[in-house]
Amino acid sequence: MDSYYQAMKAKGFSENTVKSIRKTFTCPQCGFVFSLVYARSFACRGCSESIAGCPKVRCAKCDHEFYIDKMPEIKTVQQGRSLQDHIQQVMTDYYDEQGWKKNR
């Protein structure tokens, strides 16, 4: 594990939280580098699939969709599913706090 993860863990952040906020996704179409939280917040905002455990991520720059398992840190199906579930809960909680509808 790297020092960034260790520092975040010391502050109480989970491994999935660290993975979701790191800029580790690179769009295969346009090369834009972004984090999962950024993608879900902007490109997937309002999509009902984003709070239903969607296995895809959408580039906020060119709108290209690809699977979360393309992330370098995801080695197994279980890790990918765990990250999907984590970001789903983050987005659901955020929508509930804001009083927003969970679809467009």
Distance, CA of 77 to CA of 75 (rounded, Å): 7
For the segment 82-98, the average pLDDT, to the nearest whole number, is 79
* Statement: residue 58 has pLDDT above 70: yes
- What does the block give as tokens for 45? 């905002």
Read off the pTM. 0.68
- The percentage of the chain sitting over the pLDDT mark of 90, rounded to a whole number, equals 9
* Statement: residue 56 has pLDDT above 80: yes
Q: What pLDDT score was predicted for residue 4?
A: 72
Distance, CA of 58 to CA of 43 (rounded, Å): 6
